[in-house]
Amino acid sequence: MKGGMLASVLAARDGSLPEAEARVVGRRILLGLRSMHAGGYAHLDVKPDNIGVEGAGDLDSAVLMDFDCSEPVGAARSLWVVCCHRADCIPCETS
Give a yes or no: residue 46 inside a domain: yes
Give a yes or no: residue 47 inside a domain: yes
Give a yes or no: residue 16 inside a domain: yes
- Coil, helix or strand at residue 93: helix
Q: Residue 31 belongs to what domain range?
A: 6-94
Give a yes or no: residue 14 inside a domain: yes
The count of structural domains within the chain is 1
Give a yes or no: residue 1 inside a domain: no
CATH number of the domain where residue 55 is located: 1.10.510.10
6 and 55 Cβ atoms separated by less than 8 Å: no
The amino acid that residue 52 corresponds to is G
Phi and psi angles of residue 5, each rounded to the nearest 5 degrees, phi first = -115, 155
Tens-level pLDDT at each residue, the chain (95 residues): 677 899 999 999 999 999 999 999 999 999 999 999 888 888 888 999 999 998 656 899 999 998 888 888 875 555 555 555 555 555 443 33
Give a yes or no: residue 25 inside a domain: yes
| Rounded CA separation 59/33 (Å) | 17
